[in-house]
A = this chain, B = another copy of it.
Amino acid sequence: MLSTRGTAWSKVGFLHGKQNAYHPIRNPNGVVAFNNAENGFLHADLANFFNKHNHFEDNCCAYGEGYTGTLRLRTAMSNHLNLHFQPVWPIDPEDITFTAGVTDLNEVCALVTCNPETDAIMLGGPVYGTFSKDLAMRTGIKLEWVPVGTDQFTPDCVAAFDAGFEDAKARGVNVRALIICNPHNPLETLRALLQFCAAKGIHLISDEIYALTTYPRDDQPSEKFTSIRAIDYSDIIDPTQVHVLYGMSKDYGAAGLRLGCLVSQNREFCNAVRAICRFSSPSQFSMDLAAKFLEDQTFVKQLLDKSHRVLSRIRLLTEKLLDEAGLKYEKKGNAGLFMWIDLSPQLPLRETNGDGWAAEKLLSERFLRAGVKVDPGAEYQSPEPGRFRLMFCVEEDTLREGVRRIVAALKAE
């Protein structure tokens, strides 16, 4: 009785209903989730701020200015970005379009840049695995994954993207846009990517939703975040080919607001995006709270400082626990909520006749049975099997219990 696509989607997993989250006292048998992506350490401070600014005017109940972000929120966001992203050309409120989260904007960018069947978006792996659902689940577009590994942090990635682009072209696939997750690209890499997109005549979409999760480490030199908008690219690429995605979910631990925005100087692009924003309207109450938050830059700074302290502390603790357990991991990095752990030496290859990806999957299932969720590299377009993405931004108790369960699952077999 369902359509073909409906039948396919009915078999896809979804979050629905209360989660069985580990808590040392209230739910010691619950699951340790190393796969979520939010900074829960900020929730209490943020809720406290919202509860001090929770008077709603009548017009929050109304349709009001519609589906694309109130002028107040877009103004607050443009001021905020002009302060923190240091754009070469100031960001105007009219360059900003809000929807109910960046997940939706990912799809919207795919729809607006690509025709179905023939057109593709290119991504370098490893990368946020759920892009595959966001970009392709409903749009009918193709994805071109380029295995760039740690090369994605250097201009060397361009050679890989170029090869991927030409390979796709030879197969009749038109790459129409490149999506990158920034931060993780030093200045020279960003410039090289801009040149690449200019040469190919494609859009560059810079997902900067983790921009201000960049934290200084006291044990090694730290990279700084550079927004694509902080580069004067007027001599490199037509500015209408460059778009930034941002939102409230990651930097501020405010996923529950469901607010993401597109920043673009391309009028036609923005018009097309706004026309389909009807399907993902943000809450007026969320927009009101977010505007009040972004207008209070003293509190924003406090919250970001706390975020950076927490992330630095918990990352160093995670590294210590992994060292103690004798597990390998990616030692560099000072942005985001994740790190790659390298369990390739622990892969149960004998049980899978040497098949690395099957062994990674088997390991992943064992972790689940041991009560710890940690996403395998295959879901993130990892070039080699055995990598797992560890979301370390959890309470210390939870972190210790999760690592303990990983170690136990590795030893048990």
Contact = CB atoms under 8 A, between A and B. Distances in A.
Interface string A54-66: 1111111111111
Contacts of A412: none
Nearest to A113: B3
B289 A2 contact: no
A326 interface: no
Contacts of A266: 1
Interface in A1-36: 1-7, 9-19, 36
B16 A43 contact: no
Contacts of A230: none
Given A17-B71, A112-B9, A258 B282 contact: yes
B276 A68 contact: no
Interface string A232-244: 0000000011000
Given A10-B269, A113-B6, A256-B285, A15 B66 contact: yes
B54 A103 contact: no
Contacts of A279: 103-104, 107, 138, 279-280
B3 A280 contact: no
A18 B71 contact: yes
A67 interface: yes
In this complex, which of A3, A19, A38, A241 has the most chain B Cβ atoms within 10 angstroms of its Cβ? A3
A56 B51 contact: yes
B9 A275 contact: yes
- Total copies of this chain within the assembly: 2
Contacts of A289: 285
B14 A66 contact: yes
A6 B43 contact: no
A268 interface: yes
A101 interface: yes
Contacts of A44: 58
Contacts of A55: 51, 54
Contacts of A274: 14, 16
Given A14-B278, A279-B279, A2 B60 contact: no
Nearest to A101: B281
B36 A60 contact: no
A61 B42 contact: yes
Contacts of A17: 65, 71
Given A1-B241, A275-B10, A285-B283, A36 B63 contact: yes
Nearest to A281: B258
A152 B168 CA distance: 53
A63 B256 contact: yes
Interface in A255-282: 255-258, 266, 268-269, 271-272, 274-282
B62 A15 contact: no
In this complex, which of A2, A40, A47, A201 has the most chain B Cβ atoms within 10 angstroms of its Cβ? A2
A286 interface: yes
